[in-house]
Amino acid sequence: MHRFVRLVVAPLSLAFAVVCTAQDYPNRPVRVIDPFSPGGATDVLGRIVGQKLTERLGQPFLVENRPGAGGHIGAEAVAKSPPNGYMLVIAGVPHAIGMTLYHKVGYDMAKDLAPVTQLATFPSLIVVHPSLPVKSIKELLALARARPGQLNSGANTGSPNHLAIELMNSMAKIKIVHVGYKGAAPAVTDAVAGQIDLVSAGVPSVLGYVHSGHLRAIAVTSMKRTPLLPDVPTVNESGIPGYDVTSWYGLYSAPGTPGAIIMKLNAEIATVFKATDVAERLSALGAQAAPSSPEQLGRITRDEIARWAEVVKASGATVN
């Protein structure tokens, strides 16, 4: 009889403890790790979400920038943190790429991070210097075939914007040469100066140059056009069917975080993204809110790791 009582009471006690943990969560500040430098898209995204969660849950959600190793230092710190929901990380396509790009990564994104929700998606623009005689992807492909290996594009090696051009090379059977940079800003600067022919870059980083005529936008990399430049077609609709490079970011916790805490965060963030001011702030980044279930983010993570592994391999890119 006593053994029966223990068998029944123990699981109920554990379930009660988990529920209480979720009800009490958070009862102290939560650290949201942005694994990139201040001022970037993930930093702004983290502060938007952190501010709203602070207002809704009554505890500070503090964004902490922890850059390095393509975002892996911050992500690995969360992967190895206590599974209690008090240390979260914004991670996404750069981390999925990094699972193959980097020789040594101290965690497995698909196994060592617990998905909470996807946050937002970010398209990029393919822009060219005005001196390049192309106004569309079809014209770019024709010029690249007429001048094999003579056109170049700049980006941080292994970044989504680098691999966006490598994917174009692969799908269209062309060769646009990669020029490595330490970040998007110097690549865009050289494109404006005419030192390189084209770049794939986040919408905010090139939008002003497009409006001023210093760069010409010929395509959007995602499957949907951006409302910031509604007349610019996608790569998919203007020359390379099926082409889609959409940067995305999600929120993750440590593995083993109680499901009730993850679902509480998931529900709160879904509510946050319904706010008009949040949609407006994301739109200014060229981004779109894309909240998901934890299971959906898990599938996205696994699929993106597999997808980009093929592109990384084809490009020959690698980082020690």
| 184 in Cβ contact with 155 (< 8 Å) | yes
Q: How confident is the model at residue 243 (pLDDT cuts 50, 70, 90)?
A: very high
Answer yes or no: is pLDDT of 195 > 80. Answer: yes
Write out the two tokens for 154: 């700049």
Answer yes or no: is pLDDT of 4 > 60. Answer: no
Q: How confident is the model at residue 176 (pLDDT cuts 50, 70, 90)?
A: very high
Question: What are the strands, taking DSSP E only, across the chain?
Answer: 30-34, 61-65, 87-92, 114-122, 124-128, 152-156, 177-181, 198-202, 216-220, 247-253, 288-289
243 vs 239: CA distance, rounded Å: 9
Whole-model pTM? Answer: 0.88
247 vs 120: CA distance, rounded Å: 9
Answer yes or no: is pLDDT of 148 > 60. Answer: yes
- Give me the domains of the chain, ranges plus CATH numbers: 2-122+246-315 (3.40.190.150), 124-220 (3.40.190.10)
202 vs 122: CA distance, rounded Å: 7
SS3 of residue 25 by DSSP: coil
Average pLDDT over residues 294-302: 98
State the pLDDT at residue 14.
46
State the pLDDT at residue 9.
52
CA angle 262, 266, 271 (to 5 degrees): 150
State the pLDDT at residue 7.
54
- Residues of the chain by 3-state class (helix, strand, coil), percent to 5: 50, 20, 35
SS3 of residue 40 by DSSP: coil
> Who contacts 55 (Cβ-Cβ below 8 Å, separation ≥6)?
none
Average pLDDT over residues 166-189: 93
Q: Which residue has the tokens 């698909």?
A: 110
124 vs 219: CA distance, rounded Å: 9
Answer yes or no: is pLDDT of 196 > 80. Answer: yes
Answer yes or no: is pLDDT of 6 > 80. Answer: no
pLDDT tens, position by position, 26-59 = 999 999 999 998 888 899 999 999 999 999 999 9
